[in-house]
Amino acid sequence: MELIALPAFEDNYLWLLHDGHQALVVDPGDAAPVAGALRRLGLRLAAILVTHHHGDHTGGVAALRDATGAQVFGPARERIPEPFTPLAGGNLVEVLGIAFRVIDVPGHTAGHVAYFADDVDGAPLLFCGDTLFSGGCGRLFEGTPAQMLASLDALAALPEATRVCCAHEYTLGNLRFARAVEPANAALADHERACQALRERGVPTLPSSIGLERAINPFLRSREAAVTRSVQAHAASANDEVAVFAALRQWKNEFR
């Protein structure tokens, strides 16, 4: 299997996974980069996986479905271009011989889902849309802090080796904020330097891994004493784990 991050818009990645003959694509907000890759690589598009309803994740779905006949899968509780196969947490989707487990991850949107496979060429694989970013998490447009914290807990519980395929190249901005939250985190400083070198070469910082995110991502570390102290110094009223997480997310919203 080959995993490719197709750049789109200013900072989106449309993830293409293929076996040399057939492919699936995740969150194709723009059909053109996907169609170009399919032509270039001589692939047939078998399936489209959608994590949530935002236009930069769904804008190319109809055109790709109509052009290729690919089956579309998406969250049952969101507005996905029809026809599509509606999914909810616990469902299994088999594509290209790979079984993906659907995980409900509300927070960024009310019905957001992620797709997890236990083994793709020897390592687990996660397509998480805009729920988890490297060094960050999605904004809470429709869900609550408690929902997003629970969603991130579910993703953080996946195996450390899980490759994390986020939908945006937000890493450097997220890591700059993470350093403000946890300045003494040596793993974070090392990862920031590595990511800066990648971006200077025009290389994606993704996929990340669950193990790495547990070590450097403040939104997966909000219960760690250093992170909690930092948040409470910024928002003294944050007196339980959900309030700390909410204050951390608000701090990120305002961070410049």
Annotated catalytic residues are: 52, 54, 56-57, 108, 130, 168
The token duo for 207 is 């996929």
Give the contacts of 28 (CB within 8 A, at least 6 positions apart): 14, 34, 48, 57, 58, 59, 60, 61, 64
C-alpha triplet 132, 9, 6: angle, nearest 5°: 70
User: Do 47 and 71 form a contact (C-beta atoms < 8 A)?
Assistant: yes
| DSSP string for 62-76 | HHHHHHH--EEEEET
**How far is C-alpha 234 from the chain's CA centre?**
27
